[in-house]
Chain A
Amino acid sequence: MNDVRPDRTRATGRALLVFAGLSTIAAIMFGAVAVWPSSGDDLVLDVTPATAVTAPTTVPLLITPSPVPATAAAPEGNPAATTDTTTSSTIALSPLADLLGVPGSAIPPMIEPRVRPRSVTIDDIELWGPVRAVGLEDDGQLEVPDETEIGWYRYGSSPGRAGATVLAAHVSWNDTIGPFFELGSLEPGARVEVRLEDDTVRTYEVVERTMYDKDSLPRERIWRTTGDETLVLITCGGSFNPEIRRYRQNIVVYAVPVA
């Protein structure tokens, strides 16, 4: 929580100090002219330290081209007057305007929410299951729904977009079979249909099934929102560790969109 409001003091003495400060800033610009009245280059050199700001990194997405000249090349009394494009030219611009950095915009870009998957059908293993969005548990594990649902990893991609759409579900759950109970028998060529919230259906074809140790899931293939569109189905498999009552491996099925 950071809420700091500047004091609005009204002490006359401080105002005088401030006036001195302002005069100092103004003097940086006009003083240079007084010392080197004939040389515009020298003026630029003197002003440069005060205008070489690093602002573009602060609002990188929002920067619009600056209407303000980079530095005051012309040593006139009111160098910023040429930037006054939006108001009456009779307004006297402060010489301080020359010190302004880069303008930008805080208007957020419009982002259409993604269309989420709603259900999955895999005829080859007689699977149909509803999908809900999942994230991460507090300890960093993937959140997995109970045996009645399939989880769509919402920090990954979504059908129709670049990257990997990850769907994960239990193979078994407290003595009940889970939605992905037969994922381990899904062969290349099988069709996977994903129905989206807008009622469109996206069809994928299985191209690969691989078993990985749990700590060896290939990050660059599964957890990505860039690259080729891929559907990734994940469940548990391999040997069961009775001590922690968990499987030691993950079964991962990769599928690509059918044109």
Chain B
Amino acid sequence: MKRVLAGIAAVAAVALSGGTAAAQDAATVTLLHGIPGATVDVAVGGEVLLPGFEPGATQDLSAFAGQSLADVEVRLAGTEDIVIGPIDELAVPASGNWTVMAHLDAEGTPAIAAFENNTAPTADGEGRLTVRHTAAAPAVDLVVGDARPIEGAENGASAELALPAGEIAGAQLAPAGGDPIVDVPTVNLAAGSNLIVYAVGSLADETFTFYTQEIEVGTEAGDDGDEGEDGDGTPAPTEVNTGTPISDSVNLSLLAAAFGMLALAGGALTLRTVKQR
């Protein structure tokens, strides 16, 4: 029946195809299977669009940007058992960079969420680490050493950290305010990249794990993530101060004043010594 209708609408559709192309130019939409342990079929309008979609797999849906998918079902692979849906209408974002994700909500019920990915360039030598809680687990803190850069993130939350490019090792997750219970795998954050880490699965079912997605966004300095002609993307400190540091701001102003007087008094001599080895 649908195909008959399609045939009737043929001429109009050819005219509309240009519009479809314009919509997809403006958007990047990635579908992510974020429910470990269940290979699924994704069906639209009663017919399978995506057979054998495995946990951790992604599928580019950019061609559907700006469209609405009707009667969407996520089924256990090869069966009619519905995992998610039927969803009467699934609106695919029309612009921006999005990840549409099948995941478990806090209670362990399969759900679909859409996250917009930040594609703004990063600062020189930095990457963007995006952390998303999409697991059947309570609110969590991200623990790095003694610090908790993300606190109380609940299922569905997405948080971004701007970090110097490099290896990120030793991060852990803890129930909000509690002791760490899970190690986050070591990831390599490239300069000019948005690295998205998804916590997925279920703590109770022992399917809890992490998925990642990397989006090149470039740095403010240039498109390729390098800074300047000399660097390889490794962040460089602005300065290395390994002498006596400024330790007491109250005394400092007095000291600075005192030294300032001295410096004025012996000005020429002091300046002369600067370039000496």
Contact = CB atoms under 8 A, between A and B. Distances in A.
B44 interface: yes
B9 A8 contact: no
Contact of B62 (A62, A97, A101, A236): A101
A88 B48 CA distance: 11
Contact of B211 (A95, A106, A225): A106
Which secondary structure dominates where chain B touches chain A? mixed
Contacts of A95: 3, 47
Contacts of B21: 49-50, 52
A136 B259 contact: no
A86 B77 contact: yes
A80 to B, nearest CB: 8
B207 interface: no
B242 A169 contact: yes
A136 B197 CA distance: 23
A223 B52 contact: no
B238 A28 contact: no
A200 interface: no
Contact of B241 (A8, A86, A91, A236): A236
B16 A28 contact: yes
B222 interface: no
B186 interface: yes
| Interface bracket on A | 35 or more
A236 B239 CA distance: 11
A46 B234 contact: no
A227 B43 CA distance: 50
B185 A30 contact: no
A219 B228 contact: yes
B206 interface: no
Contacts of B58: 59, 62, 103-106
A14 B70 CA distance: 9
Contact of B157 (A3, A23, A250): A3
Contacts of A50: 17, 20-21, 24, 63
Interface of B: 2-3, 5-7, 9-14, 16-18, 20-21, 24, 28, 30, 32, 34, 39, 41, 43-45, 47-52, 56-64, 67-71, 77-78, 87-91, 97, 100, 112-118, 156-159, 164-167, 169-170, 185-188, 197-198, 210-216, 228, 230-247, 252, 255-256, 259-260, 262-263, 270, 273-274, 276-277
30 contacts: A3-B158, A8-B87, A21-B70, A22-B2, A31-B13, A49-B21, A53-B24, A54-B62, A58-B60, A60-B216, A62-B214, A91-B51, A92-B47, A94-B47, A96-B44, A96-B64, A100-B61, A103-B60, A104-B60, A106-B56, A110-B185, A111-B185, A163-B234, A168-B242, A174-B244, A226-B232, A236-B241, A243-B256, A243-B260, A245-B244
Which 5 interchain pairs have the tightest Cβ spacing?
A101-B60, A86-B52, A31-B10, A27-B13, A55-B60
Given A7-B91, A34-B10, A97-B50, 17 more contacts: A3-B157, A5-B113, A6-B90, A6-B100, A6-B112, A15-B88, A25-B67, A49-B18, A83-B51, A86-B77, A95-B47, A104-B57, A108-B185, A108-B212, A240-B243, A242-B262, A244-B246
Interface of A: 1-11, 14-15, 17-19, 21-28, 30-32, 34-35, 46, 49-55, 57-62, 77, 83-88, 91-97, 99-108, 110-114, 135-136, 139-142, 144, 153-156, 163, 168-175, 178, 180, 211, 214-215, 217-220, 222-227, 234-236, 238-240, 242-248, 250
